[in-house]
Structure formats: structure tokens, C-alpha cells
Structure 1
């Protein structure tokens, strides 16, 4: 090698102004909170393109219009067309489609783009990611139902006479909100678990819808069996009718005929479904992180 070549530098370091971060490091709890907040915003398309906002806000608009119509009818006639407990049940199909669109956005997008190793780096744990996504989906679905229920209650409070009637109305409203929470929890656990198994969002959306709707014929077959117990327990075969059975037992007095004395069984099965779904979701992300 010549003397000239030996004197030439092997490389040059350019100072382009990068500085080390010297601020506070907020840690795991704040990371989970930020991930949860980002998930709620994603569910409603906030901070994203106009195309991403179309479907969630279309659902929000439809549910809001239904609530406004029910409030107007109550104000004009003095009679509620739907009880607070019946409101989430009537809108269950819309809830399914909302979950089918939002769950893949929260789960399948990150799986498809391969960014999970970045999320799951320390101090964020594997379970933190899954639970933050689930909490975001449950919160968004609950808000979708609880907001219109609050509008209905506010309108009803001005149409009843006396503070006692308002208090009774408030009790019914709390029952409806609790029933909406049951819908959100059961539906979202199933939807996010299914979406976490599929990397393509379109396929995941179809799989979520199928998980709910394809089990409905099974309920129909079991319901026509000659055994009375079998027909009363048929609703356990589908998440939709499972939640409906809980509503008949706990939130809609007088509706126990369809499920007979098996209301507590529906509640226990729903609790088991949620617990099993959460465990499988955590196991799924442990497997993804290890790949």
C-alpha cells in the first residue's frame, strides 16, 4: 500500500446535532397508558386518515340516531319504546361489526407489519401489550353504548315527574350501563382473540364476524330439541345468545322464560369465556414474542 493511501482517513464522523435524551424516563406504567390511549384513538380513527374514520363514525352516527329517536318518542308519548337493557341487545349486530373492524386494526396491523419486537422491548412486558389492546377495545365499545344510553337517560329525566321517578329512572339506567359493559367485555375478548390469530386485517374481520354469526345456527338446532333443558341451555353455544341470556336473567325482569332457571349458568359460562379468552390472548402474544 502506498504512503498516500496510508495517510487517508478510513472514515469521517459528522456532528449533525443529535443529543442524548436527558429527561425523565416515565417507565412501564406510562408506556401501557400511552398504548391504551393510542388504542382508543385508533378505534375511532382519531389521528388517522379520513378513510379510517368512515366506518367507526358511521356506527357511532347510527347508534346516536337510534338514541335520539328513542328519546324523542319518549318525550312525545311518555312511554319508552325500548328499555335500557334492551338497547344494547337490539344493537348487538352493530357491536359485532364495530368489533370486527376495530379488533384487526388493534391486533392484526402490528402482526402484519412485524413491529411487535419494538413494542415488546423492555420495560413493556408481553402481557402489557395484550391487555392494553384489550382494554382499549373494551373501552371503545363500551363508550359506543354508554354514550347513547346517557343521552336517553338525560332525555327521560326531563319527562318524568318527581325526584323519585328520576331516581327510579337512574337505577334502570345503571342496569343498562352494566349490561352494555357485559356486551363490551364478552364481545371484545372474542373479537381480539380471533384477530390476534390472523395477520391480514380483511381476513381477520371476516373471521371475527364468523365467530359470532356461524354459531347462531348451532343455537337454533339445540333450541328445537325435545328436551326442555337442552332448549333452555342452547344459548350457551353462541356469544350473542350467551350475553342475551344474562340480560334475560339479570337486567330484564320477566325474561327468564327462555332460559328457565339457568341464569346463573349463563353468567358462569360468560365469566369462564372471558377468563379463557384472556388467558389464550396472553398465550398468543407470548408465542408471537418468542418467534
Structure 2
């Protein structure tokens, strides 16, 4: 005897829950991107490399704080910390940027995203914000550890803590500049391929291949060419901005009167990367 199926007609049920809209979609993408940057909610393999970089930087900060508390010697200022960690920052960008955008290209989930009220600009800004925040945390947390080490060992009481805070705030702002620029470049390169290995290699190549150009300009006999050499490389561009602002690492070259040019190029490079990302994803959304 065969069993007969039963169909229950419960009628059409309207959705009565809240309609959150585009802002909620942006927030969800931002949180998901920030979690993905550090491998949260993913396999242990996805956590190894970002947390390895973060662990090394935290260890350096702890060592610097310990040295200062014992000897009073400042090895790196807060602004110099980001300059000294530049290679680790590049490594972090090469790991995280493909995780945020290349995986979506490879799995072909972008049409699903854009079939909803989410726009290409929303997607780009959410990913860019997540990448920038993760990099700022990568640099800012170690700097805060350095600040705590200095604040608890100062001999000037509240005045010493206040002065130390005055040094920390520009350092955090300088770290934000690193995050804004490197996030834009990394995401832009990664947005052109769905293969994470190719994206990571392209990101490293963009940063490392510009360094020899800086060396070529520095080898020229022209003082003007030497002063403008940092404009050819993102790492030295940011270092030039730091020197112009008066707190970056000791530069290998004299900016002369061209300090404002470094600030203008840094701003234009960040804006250009965001605009190119928007153009790239508007093209993807229209396919």
C-alpha cells in the first residue's frame, strides 16, 4: 500500500519583518569583510597568515615598550613604527585584498549581490572600508601597546601621559594614511582577477617594482630629481608625507620645498584608486 502525500494550503504569507535597505547591506558587507580580513569564521588555514603578521607586529610593539620602560630609550616613534613595518604591511595587503574581492569574482557571486538593492558603489565602499579598518587596526593596536608602556612608566605623571597621547594621535593619523592608500591599491589590483595567487603576486609586484625607480631617481645628480624621487613609490610617497608633516621616519632624501607635492599626490592616488574601483565594478555590474 503506497503512502499518499498531503498538500497543506496555508495561503500566501506576506513578509512582516523590518525592511533594512541598502545601509544594512553595506554594514553586513563591511562586517563580513572585516571578519574575512582576519580569517574569523573561516578555517584555521585562513587565519594563519593575517594573524602571523599581526602577531609579529604586536611582538615588536611589546619589545619596544619593554625597552622604553627599562631604559627610557625611544627606538621608534609612533609615526616611525608604520614606516619600519612597511614590508609586513605589503604582505598583509597581498593576503587580505584577494580574500575580500578575488573570491567573489572567482565564485561568481557578484551578480547575486547586484540583483538586490545593493549598488556597485555600495559594494566598493564597504570592501574599501573593511580593508582600511583592518589595516588601521593592524598598525594602531601595536601603537596603543607602545603608548600604554610609555604611559605607565612616565615619571611626569599626568603631564607625561598627556604629552604621550599628543604623540600617539598623529601616529594613528599617519597609520590611517597608510591604510587608505594601501587598501586602495591592493583592492584595485585584486579586482582584476579571480585567482588569489595572481592577485597577491600582482600586489607585491606593484609595491616592490616601484622601489628600484626610487633608487634610479636618487642616483641622478639633480637635487630636484632627488627631492622628487619618493613620488615614484607608494612606500616612499607616504614616508615623504610623514617627513613633510614633521614626524615620519628619517628620510633618505631631502624633500626640499616639494613637501606639499607629496601630500597632493598621496590624496590624488587614494581618490584615483577609489574612482577606478567604482568604474571597475560598475562595468562588472553591467555584465
Which residue does 1:277 correspond to in 2?
273
What SS does the corresponding residue of 1:260 show, helix, strand or coil? coil
Q: CA separation in 2, counterparts of 1:92 and 1:120?
A: 35
Cα 1:23/1:267, change in 2 over 3 Å: same
Cα 1:117/1:251, change in 2 over 3 Å: farther
Determine if the alignment matches structure 1 residue 202 to structure 2 residue 197. Answer: yes
* 1:235/1:241 contact within 8 Å kept: yes
Which residue does 2:256 correspond to in 1?
260
Determine if the alignment matches structure 1 residue 189 to structure 2 residue 193. Answer: no
Q: CA separation in 2, counterparts of 1:15 and 1:46?
A: 42
Q: CA separation in 1, counterparts of 2:98 and 2:249?
A: 38
Q: CA separation in 1, counterparts of 2:6 and 2:235?
A: 63
Pick from 134, 140, 162: which aligns with 1:146? 140
Q: CA separation in 1, counterparts of 2:68 and 2:285?
A: 52
Query: Cα offset for 1:79?
Result: 1.4
* 2:78/2:143 contact within 8 Å kept: yes
Q: CA separation in 1, counterparts of 2:34 and 2:249?
A: 36
Q: CA separation in 1, counterparts of 2:155 and 2:174?
A: 26
Query: Cα offset for 1:19?
Result: 6.3
Which residue does 1:28 correspond to in 2?
22
Query: Cα offset for 1:166?
Result: 1.6
Determine if the alignment matches structure 1 residue 228 to structure 2 residue 220. Answer: no
Query: Cα offset for 1:259?
Result: 1.5
What SS does the corresponding residue of 1:107 show, helix, strand or coil? helix
Write the deviation string for residues 63-84 of structure 1: whole angstroms up to 9, x where unpaired.
Answer: 1100000000001001111111
Q: CA separation in 2, counterparts of 1:93 and 1:239?
A: 12
Which residue does 1:57 correspond to in 2?
51
* 1:249/1:255 contact within 8 Å kept: no
Which residue does 1:114 correspond to in 2?
108
Query: Cα offset for 1:243?
Result: 0.5
Query: Cα offset for 1:253?
Result: 6.9
What SS does the corresponding residue of 2:154 show, helix, strand or coil? coil
Q: CA separation in 1, counterparts of 2:160 and 2:274?
A: 40
* 1:179/1:251 contact within 8 Å kept: no
In structure 1, stretches of 5+ residues that fail to align are: 1-11
Determine if the alignment matches structure 1 residue 239 to structure 2 residue 234. Answer: yes
* 1:175/1:251 contact within 8 Å kept: no
Q: CA separation in 2, counterparts of 1:254 and 1:121?
A: 47
RMSD between superposed Cα atoms in Å? 1.9
Cα 1:201/1:231, change in 2 over 3 Å: same
- More off after superposition, 158-167 vs 147-156: 158-167
* 2:78/2:168 contact within 8 Å kept: yes
Cα 1:253/1:272, change in 2 over 3 Å: closer
Query: Cα offset for 1:22?
Result: 2.8
Structure with the greater alpha carbon radius of gyration:
1
Query: TM-score normalized by structure 2?
Result: 0.93
- Where in structure 2 are the equivalents of 1:69-218 lying within 5 Å? 69-162=63-156, 163-218=158-213
In structure 2, stretches of 5+ residues that fail to align are: none
Query: Cα offset for 1:261?
Result: 1.9
- More off after superposition, 78-87 vs 250-259: 250-259
